[in-house]
Amino acid sequence: MTKKPLNKKSSNLTKKQMMEAYEKMLLIRRFEEKAGQSYGLGKIGGFCHLYIGQEAVVVGLQMCIEKKDQVITTYRDHGHMLACGMNPNGVMSELYGRIDGYSKGKGGSMHMFSKDSNFFGGHGIVGASVPLGTGLAFSNKYKNNNAVTLTYFGDGAANQGQVYESFNMAKLWNLPCIYIIENNRYAMGTSVQRSSAQKDLSQRGVSFGIDGEQVDGMNIESVIEAGKRAVQKTRSNEGPYILEMLTYRYRGHSMSDPAQYRSRDEVKEVRDFSDPIENLKNKIISKKFSTEEEIKKINTEIKNIVDLSAEFAAESPFPPADELFKDIYI
Amino acid sequence: MKIEILMPAMSPSMTEGNLTKWFVKVGDFLRVGDPIAEIETDKAAMDVESDSEGTVIELLVEQGQEKIGIKTPIAVIDTNTEKLKGKLFTNTIDDQSATKIKKEEVKITKSTDQGSQTTVREAIRDALAEEMRLDSDVFVMGEEVAEYQGAYKVTQGLLQEFGPSRIIDTPITENGFTGIAIGASFSGLKPVVEFMTFNFSLQAMDHIINSAAKTLYMGGGQLNCPIVFRGPNGAAARVAAQHSQDLTAWFSHIPGLKVISPYTVNDHKGLLKAAIRDPNPVIFLENEILYGDVGKVSLKDDEIIPIGKANILREGMDITLISHSINLRLCEEVADILIKEKITCEIVDLRTIKPLDKNTIVKSIKKTNKCVVVEQGWSQSGVSSEIISVIMEEAFDWLDAPVVRLTGKEVPMPYAENLEKMALPSKEELIKAIKNIL
């Protein structure tokens, strides 16, 4: 197995692809900012893990798969849901704990699902999404439907034992599963440097014969290029594959995290030089795919969508009392 | 010197076995380690090896003889004779043909007919096979379920009928394969996960509770988890604390799970079929010691036994005994003893622990006005605590005496035979408990 170098090559996306990626990333960014704001106003409670900074990962990979493919992730999941095409009104209502939320207000930030969008959650236990995603891939193989599963988890989860139990079975049974390790450098407050013996997480599959590569997860073009390759391999029955996405979250682990384990300068540097949205915007303009004016218009439209989602959520009723005992069994 | 070769105990719960094949005849010379005979227990077929060197001078049981108790002499060898030494045993036996016979003897799954006698083990297998024939989304996953034919022989023959894509051997990674099976159920498959024993389910408890039981609720009813976890639960024989415990109360504590703990052969079959068809996660608790129990299957084709319904195993007037799984055997034995003293016990077989059939419990209390609850699990926060609470809440005025519980002692299961016996509910204790409140 050869370790592939970090891919920095531009993949020359078309205008349409670039604009789509830009809009989707921007939607996630603005949505998460709004969620953060609403949390500060007490409209959202509990745990709320924001995806700001990591948008290129999920948007890029979603552009590599088909409708029949499934997505599953952990609790930093708002971005995944929006990328899967779930309705911002439904996601925001769930954050607000209202009846129009995807889980009727009973799941909250960490637990939303959409069968229609092939999004399987939203799982709150670190590492648990990995066997579950492997199981989705198992079902694809069982049904012989040629679908693949994108199983997301973080650098923290990458140290959980169940991840390796899953790797073993995924390779043993040649399951169509792509493991995406979103390495945002910190498992809550503990950096990869302090938590992981093998810091190159893309090589965590070596013992099982699973190939992997590190990808610049701040660059949407790198993500799409690596993602397409991985999906193609996995769909053509080559078994599981690991993509370690090197990314960064701008906010704390959750809303209540003061993030004292890293410096302001570190965050600023990433924001200033590696921001996936800003960088893509500059590329779009330099390639003359769009103008500052058009971009501004897109920004206004997206801000509208997000504002409306918050208004929608605020007006959605609380779940009625009889919901308390519903959905325990069917 | 002549020495006897005795029928060995080949598993902790084995009391007798069948001698399916002699590998030696009178006059053969044996070295230590040579196979002598093939013994079939309720779990598996295994070879008995010689632990002495000498010549076979007598075979004491016939090939094919069944139910030979452990420690029964099966052959005599003479350790002094040297005359046949050199004629190697292995020359007379074709190892490959012996293996071949074993494979041919693997029974092809054919469901037992209605009304016929069958074992709990076969009833479970029949339920699995029947549901798998009906629904291609049903598959079996677990350790040693396929090629080994089941650690307790429950899945015997299923690999032959359904093939390796539906009878799936896993590595020994309970947390991982439990999560995988739950993930598969999210996309519509109906896995039946075998835990070799429920002791090992503790490795997978997070997925059972957090992924299987809660997802329907957390998703506002969108995503259900049609899965069955089955395997032996409760005390086995002499396997000590980590392999001998009743976890019924653990699972019954979790909203979103259904918990079944059957006793009769018929209930094992009918309730497992119901569990497989149920769209919710179901914990199906078997008991190793019950696997060989024989009984009648009265279910008609395609009939199931509904989850959540207790059964009056025996009617009586003087006291209600409530229990589940193997301790119902204890209740029946005690009821048989007490009937000689003109005390009639009504025995309630809970069958399903969650959801609990409160009506049947309350109805029986209203009839007998006295009750002892028996379980193998530990007393604190146990199944019996729950039942007593239900009786307090819904039948207090009908009681003529405090309800008493007889449970496993609050100790890790000891290995020593005498201590193990003391740790579990006994007939004497049950009789005493009953007489105290009569």
Range in A165-179, B33-47, B344-358, B377-391 with the lowest mean pLDDT: B33-47
pLDDT category, A162, cuts 50, 70, 90? Answer: very high
For B127, other C-beta atoms within 10 Å of its C-beta total 26
Shared domain check, B404 and B320? yes
Q: Cα-flanking dihedrals φ and ψ of residue A195, to 5°?
A: -115, -20
pLDDT category, B86, cuts 50, 70, 90? Answer: very low
Please report the pLDDT score of residue B84 as a whole number.
Answer: 43
- Nearest Cα residue in chain A from B210: A125
Shared domain check, B76 and B216? no
Residue that terminates a domain, selected from B271, B296, B321: B296
**Total domain count for chain B?**
3
Shared domain check, B173 and B269? yes
d(CA A285, CA A294): 10
In a domain, B107, yes or no: no
Mean pLDDT, all residues of chain A: 95
Shared domain check, B222 and B174? yes
pLDDT at A73 over 70: yes
Structure-token match 């009648």, residue found: B296
Q: For A228-255, what is the mean pLDDT?
A: 95
Shared domain check, B318 and B393? yes
Please report the pLDDT score of residue B93 as a whole number.
Answer: 37
pLDDT at A294 over 60: yes
d(CA B299, CA B137): 23
C-beta of residue A191 within 8 angstroms of C-beta of residue A220: no
For residue B21, give both structure tokens: 């094949």
pLDDT at A1 over 70: no
pLDDT category, B213, cuts 50, 70, 90? Answer: very high
CATH number at residue B412: 3.40.50.920
pLDDT at A154 over 50: yes
Those residues with Cβ within 8 angstroms of residue B420's Cβ, 6 or more apart along the chain or in another chain: B235, B237, B238, B244, B413, B414
Instruction: Respond yes or no: is residue B268 known to be catalytic.
Output: no
Please report the pLDDT score of residue A250 as a whole number.
Answer: 93
Architecture of the domain spanning A4-325: 3-Layer(aba) Sandwich (3.40)
Residue that terminates a domain, selected from B296, B320, B352: B296
- Could you please report the per-residue DSSP string of B162-186? H-TTTEEE--S-HHHHHHHHHHHHH
Residue B82 sits in which domain range?
2-95
pLDDT category, B52, cuts 50, 70, 90? Answer: confident
Please report the pLDDT score of residue B53 as a whole number.
Answer: 86
Q: For A271-278, what is the mean pLDDT?
A: 95
Mean pLDDT, all residues of chain B: 91
pLDDT tens across B165-205, in order?
999 999 999 999 999 999 999 999 999 999 999 999 999 99
pLDDT tens across B221-262, in order?
999 999 999 999 999 998 999 999 999 999 999 999 999 999
Range in A27-36, A174-183, B295-304 with the lowest mean pLDDT: B295-304
- Nearest Cα residue in chain B from A142: B165
Q: Which of B183, B222, B258 sits opposite A134 (nearest CB)?
A: B183
Shared domain check, B408 and B347? yes
Those residues with Cβ within 8 angstroms of residue B422's Cβ, 6 or more apart along the chain or in another chain: B409
Please report the pLDDT score of residue B87 as a whole number.
Answer: 40
Shared domain check, B352 and B272? no
Please report the pLDDT score of residue B182 as a whole number.
Answer: 98
pLDDT tens across A257-274, in order?
888 899 999 999 999 999
Shared domain check, B266 and B145? yes
CATH number at residue B249: 3.40.50.970
Q: Which is catalytic among the residues B243, B303, B386, B429?
A: B243
C-beta of residue B147 within 8 angstroms of C-beta of residue B293: no
- A102 and B185: CB-CB below 8 Å? no
C-beta of residue B197 within 8 angstroms of C-beta of residue B231: yes
In a domain, B303, yes or no: no
Instruction: Respond yes or no: is residue B174 known to be catalytic.
Output: yes
Q: Which is catalytic among the residues B174, B288, B332, B375?
A: B174
Round to the nearest angstrom and report the end-to-end CA distance of chain A: 47
pLDDT at B160 over 80: yes
CATH number at residue B87: 2.40.50.100
Cβ-Cβ contacts under 8 Å, B211 against chain A: 123, 125, 128, 132
Please report the pLDDT score of residue B276 as a whole number.
Answer: 98
Shared domain check, B249 and B202? yes
- B177 and A169: CB-CB below 8 Å? yes
- B184 and A139: CB-CB below 8 Å? yes
Shared domain check, B322 and B285? no
pLDDT at A52 over 60: yes
Cβ-Cβ contacts under 8 Å, A134 against chain B: 176, 179-180, 183
Shared domain check, B334 and B385? yes
What are the residue ranges spanned by the domains of chain A? 4-325
Please report the pLDDT score of residue B436 as a whole number.
Answer: 96
In a domain, B47, yes or no: yes
pLDDT at A23 over 70: yes
Residue that terminates a domain, selected from B235, B270, B296: B296
Please report the pLDDT score of residue A69 as a whole number.
Answer: 98
pLDDT category, B8, cuts 50, 70, 90? Answer: confident
Shared domain check, B270 and B139? yes
In a domain, B305, yes or no: no
